[in-house]
Amino acid sequence: MGEMEQLRKEAESLKDQITAARKAVQDSTLQEAAAGITVVGRIQMKTRKTLRGHLAKIYAMHWSTDSKLCVSASQDGKLIVWDSVTTNKVNAIPLKSSWVMTCAYAPSGNLVACGGLDNMCSIYNLKGKDGNVKVMRELAAHTGYLSCCRFISDTEIITSSGDCTCILWDIETGTQKTVFAGHQGDCMSLAVAPDFKCFISGACDFTAKLWDIREGTCRQTFGGHESDVNAIGFFPNGNAVITGSDDATLKLFDLRADQELITYQDSSIMCGVTSLAPSLSGRLLLAGYDDFNVNIWDMLKAERVGKYMWKLYIPLENGRKVDPAEDSEGSCRVAAGTEH
């Protein structure tokens, strides 16, 4: 027992030293740094497109890199690829399991993936020879639901799961290459870095972790949230992680300073963040909340500059399919955001 007590004390003391080291580099606050900038003027949002066709809750959607196509997954058991400009359905893919919770579009535009309570990530080839969209791979190894998946290329995909791990898969062989374990709660979302060398995950243990894809290790852990981290994304320059949580705040963690630098909160906001997306320049942050609103934050001033209220519902709006309990608004907005 004596040994364990010693170890515990040592672990604790190291943690304190880390806290002190972090504090030591806190030589400025956001207010000071951004004092010279004016707040962005009020932003108004309008519905531009409505994509209709799903028959049940839409749990997730993801834009293609061309900003025109997007894929959405609904619990009516369908994965639909939309041409958002014409609002036509390009593909309607029937799923084996209707309990889908996430979907992703490959950067190449050739593949889409989805998964959910079946604990699997299913990959579909959109550009098959005979024109039919078929299941290409079923990646099964997780022991919990699939909460998020993101392609790195046509050959690699990363998934996050309710079993508290993330996995990097080789799509070609359908096998898992690396398991990223360390979170102590369900992993809810993930985002890949712009340089594809690492990725971040947010989990129900209130933390976000930065993982090295090649090494399979956790490089950094960011705590500070007081509830589940539901949404996560990179600041466009790849130097910071933005997280959205059930504690009604969003936080920006700088990778180089190894700590939280900015919190986006407002006393009038009492419900959790379900999704987020920064604009192309990183000046604006769009965040979707549980009360069906989207708040637009000035990232450098930490002030709200706009709000899009769904009023009562959020079936399909602005190319954004949001289910009351779920999200995707932000991610849709960003591509929508990067283009306008």
- Tell me which residues in 267-326 interact with another protein (CB under 8 A): 270-272, 279-284, 290-292, 299-300, 307-309, 311-313, 315, 324-326
Binding mask 131-160 for another protein (x = CB under 8 A): --------------x------xx-xx----
**Adjacency order of strands within the sheet including 250-254:** 229-234, 240-245, 250-254, 259-264
CA separation, residue 276 to residues 15, 207, 224, 235 (Å): 30, 16, 18, 11
**Residue 27 beta carbon to another protein: minimum distance, rounded to whole angstroms:** 5
Cα 204–chain centre separation: 14
Instruction: Give the list of residues 6+ apart from residue 288 with CB closer than 8 angstroms, or none.
Output: 231, 273, 274, 275, 276, 294, 322, 327, 328, 329, 330, 333
Q: Phi and psi for 254 in degrees, rounded to 5?
A: -85, 135
| Positions 191 through 220 that interact with another protein (CB under 8 A) | 194-196, 204-205, 214, 218, 220
- Sequence letter at residue 8: R
Q: How far apart are CA 203 and CA 213, in angstroms?
A: 18
Which of these segments, 89-97, 121-129, 130-138, 188-196, binds another protein (CB under 8 A)? 188-196
**Contact pick of 124, 146, 162, 241 for another protein (by CB under 8 A):** 162
For another protein, the closer CB: 133 or 168 = 168
**Closest distance of CB 166 from another protein, Å:** 16
Interface characters, 43-72, with another protein (x: CB under 8 A): xxxxxxxx-----x---------xxx----
Rounded CA-CA distance 83/333 in Å is 15
Q: Tell me which of 82, 226, 264, 328 binds another protein, using CB under 8 A.
A: 226
Nearest-approach distance from CB 84 to another protein, in angstroms = 8
Can you tell me the distance from the alpha carbon of 118 to that of 181, in angstroms, rounded to the nearest whole number?
A: 20
Q: Do residues 315 and 264 touch, judged by C-beta distance below 8 A?
A: no
**Residue 243 contacts by C-beta under 8 Å, 6 or more apart in sequence?**
202, 208, 222, 225, 229, 231, 232, 250, 251, 253, 276
Beta carbon nearer to another protein, 4 or 131? 4
**Total binding residues for another protein by CB under 8 A?**
108
Q: How far is the CB of 7 from another protein (least distance, A)?
A: 4
| Min dist. Cβ of residue 91 to another protein (A) | 20
Q: Does 261 bind another protein (CB under 8 A)?
A: yes
Query: Per-residue x/- marks for another protein, 165-184, CB under 8 A?
Result: -----x-xx----------x
Q: Per DSSP, what are the bridge partners of residue 284?
A: 298
- 1-20: which residues touch another protein (CB under 8 A)? 3-4, 7-8, 10-11, 14-15, 17-18
Between 112 and 204, CB nearer to another protein: 204
Span of 89-97, 125-133, 135-143, 232-240 interacting with another protein by CB under 8 A: 232-240
CB atoms within 10 A of CB 149: 28
